[in-house]
């Protein structure tokens, strides 16, 4: 594993030699993949020997993690050992290892799981679009489904065997009259910076700009990883003083090849629990895990009113005089 770090660092430094040229490094296998092949004892011994914060490696070493689900899960007729001498797993073993790899990356701020719902060429197109979107040229639409969770439901009802990663997020909205998209800078949008901290103290910063539209097909999103200095600079120069910061406690988990976010959002003394599911497939009917008690589907509802329990983050963050 140390050798992997050395090799990766070599190419990262090589890409930085000429700052005038853009470079994108795409790596086959990331450091955390190794964890999926280690026993609990071996993993614990590794952590103690090298004194590493695994959350920090997971969250900050790579800008994006693209997980292409094995053909053994959903495209079994294409899974074969004949075209890869290094592959020895049966279909059942391949699925088990694939699930472990998803688990060790669970919680990365830009974790994308690409399944086998469509053809292989469409799978490759999703890989391309995801990478391009990360480079500030959004090409893929994210379809978000939201559900209001019963206030009586708690994390104590979450199955112990399910792997979940918990984070604390602080969202500060920005006052940016124009978008950073080249297409139509006047389009309605919101933008904000986010500070995210894991249970072990790993901190990441990001910038999000989202186009607002009644049509899902027009809801584009720009995401950018920030350094601590870039985060502070945006916060100090562009902060929207008419809106409160939002506090979120988020648990991220994978269920049936989809990434779910359980969000407890704090605004003053008010708390709202939301289940959020992001998909790149329009009309995706991803299942709700049976152990989560949902009250209502609030997808697409945008206004906070007395009769509407849904919130829209920007409205929820308004100061009282702006409500």
Evaluate if residue 320 carries a pLDDT over 80.
no
Q: Sort strands 270-279 and 111-114 into parallel, antiparallel or unpaired.
A: unpaired
- Best CA proximity match to 32, nearest among 128, 101, 92: 101
The residue-averaged pLDDT of 200-217 equals 79
Reported as half-sphere exposure (CB side, CA atoms, 13 A), residue 224 has a value of: 20
Confidence of residue 280 (pLDDT cuts 50, 70, 90): low
Residue 177: other Cβ atoms inside 10 A: 7
Tell me how far the alpha carbon of residue 35 is from its chain's centroid: 20
Chain segment 210-230, per-residue pLDDT in tens: 777 666 655 677 788 899 999
Evaluate if residue 310 carries a pLDDT over 50.
no
Chain segment 264-277, per-residue pLDDT in tens: 887 666 778 899 88
Q: Considering the chain, what percentage of its residues have pLDDT values greater than 70? A: 82
- Apex 65 CA angle, 61 and 66, nearest 5: 155
Chain segment 70-119, per-residue pLDDT in tens: 999 988 888 887 777 777 888 999 999 999 999 999 999 889 999 888 88
If one compares 176 and 230, the residue with the highest pLDDT of the two is: 230
What is the distance between the alpha carbons of residues 300 and 81, in angstroms, rounded to a whole number? 45
Write down the mean pLDDT value for the chain: 81
The CATH number assigned to the domain with range 145-322 reads 2.40.320
The residue-averaged pLDDT of 117-145 equals 79
Evaluate if residue 233 carries a pLDDT over 90.
yes
**Which pLDDT does position 108 carry in this prediction?**
92
Structure tokens at 305: 């009113």
The residue-averaged pLDDT of 113-126 equals 87
Contact 95, 74 (CB under 8 A): no
**Which pLDDT does position 252 carry in this prediction?**
92
Chain segment 29-41, per-residue pLDDT in tens: 899 999 998 888 8
If you write DSSP's letter for every residue of 202-237 in order, what string do you get?
A: -EEEEEEEEE--SSGGG--EEEEEE-HHHHHHHHHH
Residue environment code for 197-211, b if the CB has 16+ CB neighbours within 10 A, otherwise e: bbeeebbbbbbebbb
The domain segmentation of the chain, as residue ranges, is: 2-134, 145-322
């Amino acid at each position: 594993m140390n050798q992997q770090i050395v090799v990766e660092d070599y190419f990262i430094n090589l890409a930085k030699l000429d700052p005038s040229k853009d470079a994108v490094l795409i790596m086959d296998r990331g450091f955390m993949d190794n964890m999926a092949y280690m026993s609990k004892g071996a993993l614990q011994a590794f952590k103690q020997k090298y004194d590493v914060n695994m959350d920090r490696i997971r969250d900050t070493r790579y800008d994006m993690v693209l997980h292409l689900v094995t053909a053994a899960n959903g495209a079994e007729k294409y899974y074969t050992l004949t075209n890869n001498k290094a592959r020895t797993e049966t279909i059942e073993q391949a699925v088990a290892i694939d699930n472990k790899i998803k688990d060790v990356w669970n919680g990365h701020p830009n974790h994308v799981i690409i399944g086998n719902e469509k053809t292989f060429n469409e799978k490759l197109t999703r890989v391309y679009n995801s990478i391009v979107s990360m480079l500030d040229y959004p090409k893929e639409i994210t379809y978000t489904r939201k559900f209001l969770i019963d206030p009586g439901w708690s994390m104590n009802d979450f199955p112990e065997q399910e792997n979940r990663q918990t984070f604390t997020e602080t969202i500060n909205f920005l006052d940016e009259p124009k978008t950073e998209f080249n297409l139509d800078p006047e389009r309605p949008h919101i933008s904000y910076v986010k500070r995210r901290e894991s249970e072990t103290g790993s901190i990441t910063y990001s910038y999000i700009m989202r186009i607002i539209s009644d049509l899902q097909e027009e809801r584009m999103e720009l995401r950018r990883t920030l350094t601590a200095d870039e985060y502070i600079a945006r916060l100090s120069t562009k902060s929207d003083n008419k809106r409160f910061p939002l506090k979120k406690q988020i648990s991220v988990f994978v269920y049936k090849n989809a990434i779910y976010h359980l969000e407890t959002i704090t605004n003053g003394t008010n708390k709202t629990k939301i289940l959020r599911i992001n998909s790149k497939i329009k009309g995706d009917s991803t299942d709700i895990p049976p152990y989560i008690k949902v009250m209502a589907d609030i997808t697409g509802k945008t206004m906070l009113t007395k009769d509407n329990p849904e919130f829209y983050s920007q409205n929820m963050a308004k100061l009282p005089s702006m409500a």
